[in-house]
Chains A and B, each alone.
Chain A
């Protein structure tokens, strides 16, 4: 037992103290990433490029539904909805989101994007699919009195393909897209 305790203490120092300290020091070579990829505007932090935000104003592109509490996109308490596939609470929520999406986007064409009807796994998903962005273009353009083509070009510009052509799915960062929209000036 005595040996077990001594070895436990020694290894705790090695992997619980030395190891994270070495990683922290080495990570200082990548300060932007190590500090949370924060986006600053005029000196103030407006968010992290990796963490989604909630958008309610129709002149912004909207993010996916989020199950975090007490508010959506609570970046201090990540969670999925954990609703099962046959849970009525899931299908009721989807019906309500579909109704609200149609109401807010009367001029939208194409199918309802599934990612705007379902909650993400983290509750902090920073992305929507390119089709979910395109779906919202007519609304955003009308609210900002911009030609739809201008907004569509911007969406194209902010659409990321698969990483290195292979990994993951095409996606649009909602926060970056909305920041770019604001910088257009209207």
Chain B
């Protein structure tokens, strides 16, 4: 069996098996019901409310809910920006890192608050432990919880009749953090330690390496090159960061190489577990949805539509990465003698994982809004790299980020129901709520913001010399690097074609703006639709109702998801990865 296929099949089985109990558990949490952890975590929850002066019984309109969310996020951005700028004055900085520069601090602050975790810095060379734990990891939790809060409010709106309110943001945020994310991360962090992920406050250790020979010319370049006599191994509280990085679909690594670094991802099992955990909450939320609206079939239909796109994408990515780059094979042959072994495309991949499951990781990280990587996406084959880019461009809806994936999919459901209603002359309604011009305007607004932002910013970058200077791989791949960057930023993913000079002021600011638009501009129409739907009556299903479950609707939802994105992005993809693929097959290089 090709590399990574068996592991991927097991992964899907585990995701589906675990998503159901987790989804049902979350439904209880979001509805304020007792769970098996209530005895333990109830006091923590109540303490949080008391210390923050929050009345958990208060109800909010959609406008109040949105204001609370935006206000809370603004506090987060300001606090994180200040903390990074003042890092040199704060404790827990054993490496004595200086203050983070203003561009990088701005970009990082919005990026982590918006659940993007686009990283324009190397973690182990920039961030103190204080910044990592209290700055970045805190936002990993809170941004994930905010995303989930929004979808919970949306689902609640669908179930309420003629209600002005959609819940309480503070409560949704607090309950998600304490009942879902905290216990899950505690367990995962310790399993990761058992695999070799460090958890220590020691900054680094000096090793006296086995072969202290200085770098001589010639043979050494073949494999590894020279070495100093000492190897300084950066350590830190990695496991606690790593767990929330996956569960919260955040993706911000402790180290620059992210989950390719042996300390973030030491074994093949830790790799598999990281993919599983980053997929788990997004795939569990459709079950939560089904339980909360009181009709499991509705959740199952959405889950099925997500799975179809996810599995197909993974299959393509694994296939393309399991084949070696023909240009690399040819370069080996040019030197005469034996041909190259066939191990798949190994540039930018780790031996313990291999190319197959690395492609699965790339699929999972971009199908969700995670953006963690266990390999270099920039070095993927052109079509292998197209898959992660395309998954972001379909709006990260299969399954998407925690919370954001499901609400994005529900917007597509609204569109699908409306278009189907027009085609067959049935009343557009969803779960008994009539879909009217206001909902459609907001849904279309939601759908247009993302491609417009990505394409306008990408085409600007292509015209600005200061932006072109950031390209590290010439030819069509350079366009792919830019397109990937803005697709990743706007969709709050955070993975990159890492060769791009993302630390240049142009990208630090432009991607930062894309992140803000992609997160908050898109959350507001979602909450507006929620507010509008909550006010409506629930009309009983009639013979004129289009059933929103079953294979026909699932197929229709998949088609709508693909068509909407394909129309917006196909021309750009043709000029980037598709052109590069054809040139590669013809033996061209840049």
User: Please, what's the 1-or-0 string for B334-368, where 1 marks a CB less than 8 Å from any CB in chain A?
Assistant: 11111111111111111111100110000000000
What is the distance, in angstroms, from B272's C-beta to the closest C-beta of chain A? 5
Residue in B182, B208, B263 whose beta carbon sits within 8 Å of that of A51 in the complex: B263
What is the distance, in angstroms, from A74's C-beta to the closest C-beta of chain B? 8
Report the interface size for chain A: residues with CB under 8 A from the other chain. Answer: 116
B507 at the interface (CB under 8 A from A): no
Chain A residues with CB under 8 Å of B243's CB are: 23
Task: Please measure, in the bound complex, the distance between the C-alpha atom of A44 and the C-alpha atom of B212, giving whole angstroms.
Answer: 15
Q: 8 Å CB contacts to B: which residues of A124-170?
A: 124-129, 131, 162-164, 166-169
B328 and A24 contact, CB distance less than 8 A:
no
B138 and A81 contact, CB distance less than 8 A:
no
Chain A residues with CB under 8 Å of B237's CB are: 20, 23-24
Report the interface size for chain B: residues with CB under 8 A from the other chain. Answer: 151
B38 at the interface (CB under 8 A from A): no
Binds A, one of B195-203, B307-315, B433-441, B457-465: B195-203
Task: Please measure, in the bound complex, the distance between the C-alpha atom of A14 and the C-alpha atom of B339, giving whole angstroms.
Answer: 57
What is the distance, in angstroms, from A75's C-beta to the closest C-beta of chain B? 4
Q: 8 Å CB contacts to A: which residues of B440-498?
A: 472-477, 480-481, 497-498
Residue in B185, B211, B345, B477 whose beta carbon sits within 8 Å of that of A56 in the complex: B211
Chain A residues with CB under 8 Å of B419's CB are: none
A58 and B44 contact, CB distance less than 8 A:
no
Task: Please measure, in the bound complex, the distance between the C-alpha atom of A47 and the C-alpha atom of B51, giving whole angstroms.
Answer: 46
Chain A residues with CB under 8 Å of B219's CB are: 56, 58, 100, 103-104
Q: 8 Å CB contacts to B: which residues of A1-55?
A: 1-12, 14-17, 19-20, 22-24, 26-27, 30, 33-38, 44-55
Chain A residues with CB under 8 Å of B22's CB are: none
User: Please, what's the 1-or-0 string for A98-141, where 1 marks a CB less than 8 Å from any CB in chain B?
Assistant: 11111110000011111111111111111111010000000000
Known: A4-B71, A34-B193, A79-B256. A15 touches B138 (CB 8 A): yes
B17 at the interface (CB under 8 A from A): no
B473 and A8 contact, CB distance less than 8 A:
no
What is the distance, in angstroms, from A96's C-beta to the closest C-beta of chain B? 7
B89 at the interface (CB under 8 A from A): no
Residue in B216, B256, B331 whose beta carbon sits within 8 Å of that of A92 in the complex: B331
B54 and A169 contact, CB distance less than 8 A:
no
B262 and A125 contact, CB distance less than 8 A:
yes
B416 at the interface (CB under 8 A from A): no
User: Please, what's the 1-or-0 string for B255-283, where 1 marks a CB less than 8 Å from any CB in chain A?
Assistant: 11100111100111101100000000000
B558 at the interface (CB under 8 A from A): no
Chain A residues with CB under 8 Å of B182's CB are: 14-15, 19
A186 at the interface (CB under 8 A from B): no
A184 at the interface (CB under 8 A from B): no
Chain B residues with CB under 8 Å of A65's CB are: 221-225
Task: Please measure, in the bound complex, the distance between the C-alpha atom of A100 and the C-alpha atom of B335, giving whole angstroms.
Answer: 10
B42 at the interface (CB under 8 A from A): no
B350 and A120 contact, CB distance less than 8 A:
yes
Known A51-B262, A82-B472; further 18 A-B contacts with Cβ < 8 A:
A2-B53, A3-B68, A7-B54, A16-B135, A19-B185, A20-B137, A47-B231, A51-B263, A56-B225, A78-B255, A81-B379, A87-B475, A114-B328, A120-B350, A121-B257, A126-B262, A163-B268, A164-B269
- Residues of A bordering B, CB below 8 Å: 1-12, 14-17, 19-20, 22-24, 26-27, 30, 33-38, 44-58, 60, 62-66, 71-88, 90-92, 94-104, 110-129, 131, 162-164, 166-169, 171, 175, 178-179, 182
A-B contact pairs, 8 of them (CB 8 A): A15-B181, A16-B138, A24-B199, A47-B209, A101-B223, A104-B222, A117-B328, A168-B7
Closest 4 CB pairs of A and B: A168-B268, A84-B473, A62-B223, A121-B260
